[in-house]
Amino acid sequence: MGKKVSAQLFRINKFNNYKNKWVFTNYNISYNITILHKYIIMHNIVHNNNILTSIYFYYFNNNVTVLGKVYNKVYYKFYTNFLLCYFKFMCKNTIYINLYRLVSYYKYINFLKLFVKINLLRHFSIKQLYQKLYYYLVNRNNLFLGIKIIISGRLERNDLSNSDIFKFGYITFNKINMYVEYDFFYLNTKYGVIGIKIWVLNYV
């Protein structure tokens, strides 16, 4: 018998609470464009329904980043005009841009993704990564309902590739009232390429 998967995706025709790079409907297509520049995170989500395209920029430290260059609030007008021209050319739809400041930026999946990436590049120790991640999560109680991370590849000088799983909190994908964020990325290390998958669960 196959393993159970999300009831939300396969038993009802509703996708809005499960966010990843693959699942979408004809009325709401989401693209994740993530630009990471040291301590600055900008998470861009483009919602395209063939009539309207909305772009939301999430930032903190009163800065935004454009292709690795940092601009302060004085350049917001220039920055938005640059994006208007770019996305009008790409989407050929009406463009709206909203800027939001992240007060608790560490509770988003992009920050967790950056946390994992930086620690693996600095130390490449799965044990140290899990210790720091556990300390980070314990000191921010009720930040996430549950987290699951799978790291696959040649880990710490192993001759064969294998997978390592980290779980924290309540993990289930078979509840309709759960909001699931999913992301994955690849990381080049001195031992080869490893793949990392992250799930973050919260109540709707």
Q: Is pLDDT larger for residue 111 or for residue 70?
A: 111
- 23 in helix, strand or coil? coil
- Pick from 53, 85, 101: which residue ends a domain? 101
CATH number, domain containing residue 134: 3.30.1140.32
Same domain, 60 and 97: yes
Tell me how many domains the chain contains.
2
Q: How many CA atoms lie within 13 A of 86 on its CB side?
A: 11
Split at pLDDT 50, 70, 90, the class of 30 is: very low
Gyration radius from the chain CA atoms: 19
Domain extent, residue 149, equals: 109-201
Is 86's pLDDT higher than 60?
no
Assigned domain for 6 exists: no
Split at pLDDT 50, 70, 90, the class of 16 is: very low
Q: So what's the pLDDT on residue 140?
A: 66
Q: So what's the pLDDT on residue 18?
A: 44
User: Rounded distance, CA 100 to CA 45, Å?
Assistant: 12
Model pLDDT for residues 49-74, shown as the tens digit of each residue: 333 333 444 444 444 433 333 334 44
Assigned domain for 11 exists: no
128-156 in b/e burial notation, b at 16+ Cβ within 10 A? Answer: ebbeebeeeeeeeeebbbbbbbebbbbbe
Split at pLDDT 50, 70, 90, the class of 96 is: very low
Q: Is pLDDT larger for residue 192 or for residue 92?
A: 192
User: Rounded distance, CA 125 to CA 143, Å?
Assistant: 25
Same domain, 184 and 115: yes
Same domain, 121 and 41: no
**What is the DSSP annotation of 158-179?**
-SS-EEEEEEEE---S--TTEE
Quickly count helices (H) and strands (E) in the chain. 4, 11
Split at pLDDT 50, 70, 90, the class of 141 is: low
Assigned domain for 1 exists: no
User: Rounded distance, CA 13 to CA 115, Å?
Assistant: 34
User: Rounded distance, CA 173 to CA 199, Å?
Assistant: 10
Q: So what's the pLDDT on residue 58?
A: 41
Assigned domain for 4 exists: no
Same domain, 113 and 168: yes
Assigned domain for 78 exists: yes
174-187 in b/e burial notation, b at 16+ Cβ within 10 A? Answer: eeeebebbbbeeeb
Mean pLDDT confidence for 95-111: 56
Is 32's pLDDT higher than 80?
no
User: Rounded distance, CA 142 to CA 115, Å?
Assistant: 18
Same domain, 91 and 148: no
Q: So what's the pLDDT on residue 17?
A: 46
**Which ranges in the chain belong to alpha helices (H)?**
7-10, 76-91, 109-122, 126-138
Q: Shortest CA distance to 147 belongs to which of 185, 118, 107?
A: 107
Model pLDDT for residues 166-176, shown as the tens digit of each residue: 888 877 766 66
- Pick from 67, 101, 135: which residue ends a domain? 101
Q: So what's the pLDDT on residue 52?
A: 35
Mean pLDDT confidence for 116-138: 79
User: Residue 109 corresponds to which tokens in the numbers above?
Assistant: 């999946």
- Pick from 63, 82, 101: which residue ends a domain? 101
Same domain, 51 and 114: no
